[in-house]
């Protein structure tokens, strides 16, 4: 479903991704683990299409279609979703206004009908209830004054509503206490399906106790240096990254 091949990317003239390849099948949950500075967040930005994070070589294919030349919004409409490590605050824009704009913008780009207001409200209510997102949060400006846990739950709510094909979770566990982590993980697990793939980027194994991956990939110095099953994550937890950091160097 998501095929990244020999990806190179520079940030401010410095090469961060150095020939990264990763193939994630439909229905698969792939965990990307790696030390700080290995390029984890850069990978998520390059896939999502952030300006200034352009690839200098290689390809990113979504269901056989090259997405590298697309703007971030086009990639989103095609089914790429990035759950941000640090979700942005958008003052003055209520969460409901934002959700509706995002859902309809994607539908419009895909040539689908816009949602009716009752349909939209119903979808939000059902999803919000499951994630413990209060009506008050939905009325407030997007992420403004939200706690870390609330922001992450809001990311998952957006993911649920936007129904992506490939969801990338960038350090979604950072700053979460154990209860918030469980809620977020349940939200993700509920979305697992045979026609959806996940890329779960994390520094720690902890999140993977809740979102159990099908594959684990170690990212070091801009490349995937080892792939394995979920046992690889446990091994990392025990031994740390030092073997792989040395490898890369």
Partner 1 sequence: MTPRPPAIRTKAETALAESFAQSRASLPGGDAVRGQRIRAFDVFHERGLPHRRIEAWHYTDLRNLMREAYPITIGGAAAPLSGLRVVIQDGVCTLPTGALPAGLKLTALRDALAGASDELVHSLFPDQGADDAMVAFNAAMARDGVLIEIAPGAVIAAPIELSFISSGDAPHGDISRSLVLVGEGARASILESHAAPTKVQRNSAMIFSVGAGASLAHVFETCAGSPELHVSTLIGDVGKDARFESFAFVCAGEVLRRQAFVRGSGEGAKIALRGINLLKGKQHADTTLVVDHAVPHGESRELFKTILDGAASCVFQGKVVVRPHAQKTDGGMKSQAILLSDDAAMYNKPELEIFADDVVCGHGATVGQLDAEQIFYLMARGLPRVQAEGMIIEGFAREALEFVGDENIRERLGAGLTDWLARRAS
Task: Pick the closest to residue 93 from 135, 142, 137 (CA basis).
Answer: 142
Of 9, 4, 45, which Cα lies nearest the Cα of 21?
A: 4
In the 3-class helix/strand/coil scheme, how is 27-65 assigned residue by residue?
CCEEEEECCCCCCHHHHHHHHHCCCCCCEEEEEEEECCE
CB-based contacts of 189, cutoff 8 Å, min separation 6: 210, 211
Q: From the CB of 120, what's the least distance to partner 1, in Å?
A: 14
Task: Tell me the closest approach of the beta carbon of residue 249 to partner 1, in angstroms.
Answer: 31
Question: 3-state class of 144 per DSSP?
Answer: coil
Q: How far is the CB of 238 from partner 1 (least distance, A)?
A: 35
Q: Determine which residue in the list 11, 61, 68, 72 makes contact with partner 1, applying CB under 8 A.
A: 72
Is 13 or 91 the residue whose CB approaches partner 1 more closely? 91
Q: Work out which of 82, 185, 216, 219 binds partner 1, going by CB under 8 A.
A: 82
Q: Least separation, in Å, of the C-beta of 244 and partner 1?
A: 29
Residue of 8, 18, 23, 50 interacting with partner 1 (CB under 8 A): 50
Q: Any alpha helices (H) in the chain, and if so which ranges?
A: 40-48, 72-78, 95-109, 117-131, 135-139, 148-162, 178-191, 206-210, 230-239, 242-248
Touching partner 1, residues 88-107 (CB under 8 A): 88, 90-93, 97-98, 101-103, 105-106
Is residue 207 a contact residue for partner 1 (CB under 8 A)? no
Beta strand 215-220 with 29-33: parallel, antiparallel or unpaired? parallel
The set of residues, in sequence order, having a beta carbon less than 8 Å from that of 87 and lying 6+ positions away, is: 143, 151, 152, 154, 155
Three-state DSSP class for 12?
A: coil
Please identify, using beta-carbon distances, which residue of 80 and 216 lies nearer to partner 1: 80
> Which of residues 24, 31, 32, 84 is near partner 1 by CB under 8 A?
84
The answer to whether residues 148 and 176 touch, using CB atoms and an 8 Å cutoff, is yes
Binding map of partner 1 across residues 112-151, x = CB under 8 A, - = no contact: -----------------------------x----------
Indicate if the alpha-carbon torsion angle 99, 104, 105, 110 is positive or negative: positive
Does position 54 interact with partner 1 (CB under 8 A)? The reply is no
Stretch in the footprint of partner 1 (CB under 8 A) among 71-79, 113-121, 194-202, 204-212: 71-79
Among 9, 20, 24, 48, binds partner 1 (CB under 8 A): 48
The one-character DSSP state at 5 is E
Give the residues lining the site for partner 1 (CB under 8 A).
48-52, 71-73, 75-77, 81-82, 84, 87-88, 90-93, 97-98, 101-103, 105-106, 109, 141, 158, 162
């Amino acid at each position: 479903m998501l095929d990244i091949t020999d990806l190179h990317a520079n940030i401010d003239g410095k090469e961060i991704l150095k020939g990264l390849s990763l193939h994630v099948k439909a229905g698969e949950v792939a965990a990307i683990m790696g030390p700080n500075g290995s390029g984890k967040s850069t990978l998520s930005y390059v896939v999502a299409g952030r300006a200034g994070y352009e690839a200098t070589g290689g390809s990113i294919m979504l269901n056989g279609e090259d997405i590298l030349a697309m703007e971030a919004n086009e990639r989103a409409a095609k089914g790429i979703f990035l759950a941000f490590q640090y979700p942005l605050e958008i003052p003055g824009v209520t969460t409901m206004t934002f959700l509706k704009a995002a859902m309809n913008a994607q539908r419009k780009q895909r040539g689908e009908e816009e949602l009716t207001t009752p349909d939209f409200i119903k979808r939000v209510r059902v999803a919000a209830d499951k994630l413990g997102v209060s009506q008050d949060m939905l009325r407030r400006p997007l992420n403004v004054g939200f706690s870390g846990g609330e922001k992450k739950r809001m990311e998952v709510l957006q993911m649920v509503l936007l129904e992506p094909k490939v969801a990338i979770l960038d350090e979604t566990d950072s700053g979460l206490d154990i209860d918030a982590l469980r809620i977020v993980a349940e939200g993700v697990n509920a979305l697992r399906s045979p026609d959806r793939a996940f890329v779960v980027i994390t520094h720690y194994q902890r999140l993977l106790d809740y979102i159990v991956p099908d594959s684990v990939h170690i990212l070091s110095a801009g490349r995937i240096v080892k792939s394995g099953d979920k046992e690889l994550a446990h091994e990392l937890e025990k031994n740390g990254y030092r073997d792989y950091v040395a490898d890369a160097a």
